[in-house]
Every structure is written in structure tokens, then in C-alpha cells.
Amino acid sequence: MRLLFLGDIVGRPGRNAVIERLPGLRDRWRLDCVVINGENSAGGFGINEAICEEILAAGADAITLGNHSWDQRETLVFIERQPRLLRPANYPAGTPGRGANLIDTRSGHRVLVVNVMGRLYMDPLDDPFAAVDRELETCPMGQVADAVIIDVHAEATSEKEAMGHYFDGRASLVVGTHTHVPTADHRVLPGGTAYMSDAGMCGDYDSVLGMQKEESIRRFIQKTPGARMEPALGEGTLSGIAVETDDRTGLAVRVAALRLGPNLEETWPRFWD
Ligand SMILES: [Fe+2]
Ligand SMILES: [Fe+2]
């Protein structure tokens, strides 16, 4: 299978990059499954139903979230009727929505997508390792799921790497999100799981993490309240990871970084061209 994961969509530039480029990439590379983190897609803060539908229509099979899951209050309601929108699985019991789902892709495959949040330097939720373990037990790769994608929304690279190795051999891909900066450590781990510490963001990189740089710089220098943080509005770049898996086992065979757009050096999975 051919899997594509894209990091946090930040505001309109991130949405436009996805809407303009994803349909063409899906066709060109005959992608089987596309998962995108959408936690900053609504003006940098959360997601709403209209934007969720827009991203799905552009070619995402599932959308994951993170610490910004509930920035738009309507998400608490519409997530219940949108099985392709996932919030971290380690929220307390009773939290609206779901943290994992077996997604039927347009190509006819079944992909288990799991979203989980780290606990280092973040709002400490339940144990993320145990939360993902439970999802994998009920839906093992190669039996129920054709592939498994785990989005680890976390700050610390140590926690993300630990999770990559802990789930090595049980998932097609363990990929980090949240820092909005792509890392250069994409690889296939010894057990056959593709891994990348952070997928980067889909947004304007002439910014501080996708937000307008002036206000961000000011907040570091002057410790006084100022303007609202707004997304930077230059052209957006897509950033993420491409993975090819073995059809029988679901394990990764090849992996490549994807960066398409201005500001960063472009790269893409040349083995699919
Ligand atoms: Fe984010
Ligand atoms: Fe985040």
C-alpha cells in the first residue's frame, strides 16, 4: 500500500496547499491512504465541521488532532458524527469522539488510524503507551487492519522515539506531530515500522510555527499582552512522510520525506514517480 501522512495544517495557507495539491498527488502516486493532522486548521486553533469536510473532500481518509482538539467548541459535538475525525485516544473516559478507528479507504483497504498525545511538557493525559496498546490488541495489523498509522502528538522527541520502538513491528507508521518542524530522521525501524519524529506542518514556513512572526517575536521580548496570534498568510508548504507497505504484513518497505512548496528544500518520494 502507498500511505501519505501530512503534519498539522495551520490556517488558510495550510488548507489551500492541501486542497490545491492533494488531489493531484493522490492520482499521480495512486495513494491508498492519506491521513492529515488538522489540529490548527481553523485559524491556527482547532478545526470546525466545514473545514473538516473540506479536508476529507480534498482526499484525506482520516484527520487527527492534538492539544488543540477543542479550540473550536463545535468540535465537541460534530466529532461524534464524524468517524474519520480522531482526537487523542488517551483523553479521560467519557471524552467526546474516538481516539482510533478502522478506516475504509477509497482504494478498498482497511487502515487502523490511532491518535495519541504525549505527556512530556504537555497537558498530562492517561498513559499513551497503554492507550495505543489497547487499540492494537483489538485490531492487529495483518489480520484485521491492512495497515496501522499512529500519530503521536507530542513535544519531546524522546517520548516519540520511545513510542516508535515500543510499537515497532505492530504498526506501518509511527509519526510525530505538534512541533510543526519536520525532522530528518525518517526511516524504517528494525521491526519494520516506518518512523519520523515530526512530520512538520502544512502551512506558511515564513513564520514562527505557522503563526505571524512579528507577534511571536514580540512575545519573547516583551512580557506584556499583545495582539492575537494569527496564522502567517504566505503560500503554504506541504510537509509529511510517504510510506510504502507490504500488502500481506502491513510493515513498511520504503519511506521518504515529503516537502512541497516554498521556503523549505523540496523533496518527495521519487520511488513513486
Ligand atoms: Fe499543531
Ligand atoms: Fe499541538
List pLDDT tens digits, range 122-166: 999 999 999 999 999 999 999 999 999 999 999 999 999 999 999
Residue 271 CA to ligand 2 center (angstroms) comes to 31
Residue 42 CA to ligand 1 center (angstroms) comes to 11
Average pLDDT over residues 54-78: 98
| 6 closest CA partner among 253, 247, 266, 237 | 237
Question: Could you list which residues have their CB under 5 Å from ion ligand 1?
Answer: 8, 39-40
- Give the pLDDT of residue 236: 98
What's the mean pLDDT when you consider all of the chain? Answer: 97
Residue 94 CA to ligand 2 center (angstroms) comes to 21
Phi, psi torsion values for 75, nearest 5 degrees: -60, -30
Task: Identify the band that residue 226 occupies on the pLDDT scale cut at 50, 70 and 90.
Answer: confident
Residue 21 CA to ligand 2 center (angstroms) comes to 23
Residue 39 CA to ligand 2 center (angstroms) comes to 7
**Is the overall model pTM greater than 0.85, yes or no?**
yes
Q: Rounded to an integer, what distance in angstroms lies between the CA atom of residue 5 and that of residue 164?
A: 15
Closest ligand to 239 CA?
A: 1
Query: Going by DSSP bridges, is the β-strand pair 62-64/85-86 parallel, antiparallel, or unpaired?
Result: parallel
Q: Rounded to an integer, what distance in angstroms lies between the CA atom of residue 250 and that of residue 62?
A: 18
Task: Identify the band that residue 223 occupies on the pLDDT scale cut at 50, 70 and 90.
Answer: confident
Which is catalytic among the residues 68, 109, 180, 186? Answer: 68
91 neighbors 103 (Cβ within 8 angstroms): no
- Give the pLDDT of residue 233: 97
Q: From start to end of the chain, where are the E strands?
A: 2-6, 33-37, 62-64, 85-86, 100-104, 110-117, 147-153, 173-177, 187-188, 194-196, 238-245, 252-260
Closest ligand to 181 CA?
A: 1
Closest ligand to 7 CA?
A: 1
* Local structure of 270: helix, strand or coil: helix
| 131 closest CA partner among 117, 145, 144, 146 | 117
39 neighbors 151 (Cβ within 8 angstroms): no
Average pLDDT over residues 232-241: 98
Residue 178 CA to ligand 1 center (angstroms) comes to 4
Q: Rounded to an integer, what distance in angstroms lies between the CA atom of residue 97 and that of residue 111?
A: 18
Active-site residue, 165 included? no
The per-residue pLDDT for range 26-36, each reduced to its tens digit, is: 999 999 999 99
